Structure 1
Amino acid sequence: MKLSFNSTAQDDVNLVHATHLIQDSTEVASFLKNSGFKIIELAEVSDGGNIHCYQISLNGGYISFKKRNNLAIPEVGDSALTGFGLGTKDIESTQGRLTLHGFHPLSIEERKLLFPLAKKERREIACKVFKLKEGDIFEGEVEFIDVSNSTKPSTKSAHNNALSHFHAIILHTNKPEETIARYCWLTDQSSPRRIFGSSWQVGLDQQKIIVCSEEDVERIFPSVDVSNLPSILGYALLTESLSKTKDCFSHNELITQSLNQGSFLVKLPEFISGNLIIGTSAADFPWNGDFN
């Protein structure tokens, strides 16, 4: 597949985060700590209100866990993997490009992240964000984040389980060609790669958006309930040590399932929702084989 549009060098889009909505933040925090993660507690403040969050930092990216009590989203259950964020260094240009391509980006707003410090002090980070109108994207909520002032991340893991980088977001759909075309326009990438029989991937520098068809889902997520269509099935993380990650997860009674090429699958508990695929490099993941 080759889409006929000109990619703009200044609109360099990358994966920033995945978002879980959760019901019991205490239970989630305990689970994450017992799985070897160092978590950050913060408040996210925007026009939509004040949301209590936990974050797992992943060297320039992160996984966010937002308290669902503050969010009125009737389409999902108590806990769900509901969305992801894309970074851009020119948020106004990205917003304009998406409008020209037929999307409906909402107004840019300022978001403040408030991190508690000692002695009742707090650190504040501000960034610009915009979301897409409901109906532009069907798999989950997508937001764009201004990363023009981001500092260069460390290359080392901050976690006891050795997990270090956010590598891919994995989507599930019964319309793979229509879906991958939408994400190519969304990310300003014109040449997706076919994987398996009828699935696709689009590359964002060293990261991926995987669009998995109904027919191919067992090749990525064997023995996992994938009844929801369309949806975000999970995401892929890189680790510095498979054995250390497995040891931390086993200590917390998580079941790991080995996949081809050296990666392994973890189904997260229902109070978090979603699935992880973990490998030491991009070559470990099921979608990076030779499908020609």
Structure 2
Amino acid sequence: MNLSSNPTAHDSVTLVHATHLIQDSSEVASFLKKSGFELLEFIKVSDGRNTHCLQISLNETYISFEKRNNLFTKEFVDIALTGFGLGTKDIVSTQGRLTLHGFHPLAIEEQKLLFSEAKKERREIECKVFKLKKSDVLEGNVEFIDVISSTKSDTKSVHYNALSHFHAIIICTDKPEETIARYCWLTNQPSPRRIFNSSWQVVLGQQKIIVCSVEEVERIFPSVNVTNLPSILGYALLTKNLSKTKDYFSHNESLFQSLNQGSIQLKLPDFIGGNLIIGTNAADFPWNGDFN
């Protein structure tokens, strides 16, 4: 498969974050801290509402856990891995490119993050973001972030569990070719790679978007029951020390499973949602072998 887009360094796209919607911040924070993560806590001001957030920083990428304060919002009751963010160095050009290719990017908005500091002071970070209409991306909420003014923290990513980098987002669908074509246009990458028999990946530098066909879920996430299609099934993280990572996660009630490639699989608890694959390098993951 080859699509006729023309990627340039000016409009290159990277994977920036994954987002969970949660109900109980205290319960989630307790689980994450026991699992060896250092957390940041802040308020995100966006689209006329405030969102209480927990963040795991992973060397210029991050995982966000958001609790909406607007009780009337329907998505407040949902607990799930609901979306992810893509970074761009030229948000205006990216918005224009997507419009030309038939997508429906919403208006660029200024987003504020308010971090609590000592002595009751607050540190404020601003960034530019635009989202896509839900009809453009059926798997979840996708937003584009200006990485020049990004929301990522400048705090060094050091976690007790040795997890260090966000490697891939994993999507499950019953229409893999249609889905991978859409993500090629979204990320400005013309040549996806087939994995297994009917699944695909888009390579974004050292990161990847994995589009897994529902027939091949077992080859990536054994024993995971897929209930919604399409959906964001999980993500892959890199660790500097797999043994240390295992030790931190083994104390909790996560579904923990070793995979043949040298990676491990974790089913996150229901109050967070989603699945993890963890390895020491990219070659540990199931999709980095068995190419057609």
Number of the residue aligned with 1:49 = 49
> Do the aligned partners of 1:261 and 1:284 also contact (CA within 8 Å) in 2?
yes
Q: Percent identity, aligned pairs only?
A: 77
144-153 or 260-269, which moves further after superposition? Answer: 144-153
1:164 to partner: Cα distance: 0.4
Number of the residue aligned with 2:90 = 90
Instruction: Output one character per residue of 1:238-292: Cα deviation in whole Å (capped at 9) or x when no partner.
Output: 0000000000001234332111211110000000000000001111000000323
Number of the residue aligned with 2:244 = 244
Q: Give the distance between the partners of 1:156 and 1:51, measured in 2 at CA.
A: 24
Q: Give the distance between the partners of 1:34 and 1:89, measured in 2 at CA.
A: 36
Tell me how large the CA RMSD over aligned residues is. 1.9
Letter of the 1:188 partner, please give it.
N
Q: Give the distance between the partners of 2:166 and 2:67, measured in 1 at CA.
A: 22
> Do the aligned partners of 1:78 and 1:271 also contact (CA within 8 Å) in 2?
no
Number of the residue aligned with 1:233 = 233
Number of the residue aligned with 2:31 = 31
Q: Kindly tell me: are residues 67 and 81 of structure 1, through their superposed partners in 2, closer, same or farther at Cα, counting changes over 3 Å?
A: same
Q: Give the distance between the partners of 2:72 and 2:176, measured in 1 at CA.
A: 29
> Do the aligned partners of 1:68 and 1:79 also contact (CA within 8 Å) in 2?
no
5-14 or 259-268, which moves further after superposition? Answer: 5-14
Q: Give the distance between the partners of 1:150 and 1:12, measured in 2 at CA.
A: 15
Letter of the 2:275 partner, please give it.
N
Letter of the 1:136 partner, please give it.
D
Instruction: Output one character per residue of 1:122-175: Cα deviation in whole Å (capped at 9) or x when no partner.
Output: 111100000001200000000000002459999974110000000000000000
TM-score (norm 1): 0.95
TM-score (norm 2): 0.95
Q: 1:19 aligns to what SS in structure 2?
A: strand
Number of the residue aligned with 2:188 = 188
> Do the aligned partners of 1:86 and 1:144 also contact (CA within 8 Å) in 2?
yes
Q: Kindly tell me: are residues 233 and 76 of structure 1, through their superposed partners in 2, closer, same or farther at Cα, counting changes over 3 Å?
A: farther
Number of the residue aligned with 1:269 = 269
Q: Kindly tell me: are residues 69 and 79 of structure 1, through their superposed partners in 2, closer, same or farther at Cα, counting changes over 3 Å?
A: farther
**1:165 aligned to 2:158?**
no
Q: Give the distance between the partners of 1:124 and 1:110, measured in 2 at CA.
A: 12
User: Residues 1-292 of structure 1: matches in 2 within 5 Å?
Assistant: 1-70=1-70, 74=74, 78-149=78-149, 157-292=157-292
> Do the aligned partners of 2:261 and 2:284 also contact (CA within 8 Å) in 1?
yes
1:75 to partner: Cα distance: 6.6
> Do the aligned partners of 1:155 and 1:164 also contact (CA within 8 Å) in 2?
no
> Do the aligned partners of 1:267 and 1:274 also contact (CA within 8 Å) in 2?
yes
1:76 to partner: Cα distance: 8.3
> Do the aligned partners of 1:68 and 1:78 also contact (CA within 8 Å) in 2?
no
Aligned residues: 292
Q: Give the distance between the partners of 2:131 and 2:152, measured in 1 at CA.
A: 25
> Do the aligned partners of 1:17 and 1:85 also contact (CA within 8 Å) in 2?
yes
Q: Give the distance between the partners of 1:143 and 1:72, measured in 2 at CA.
A: 23
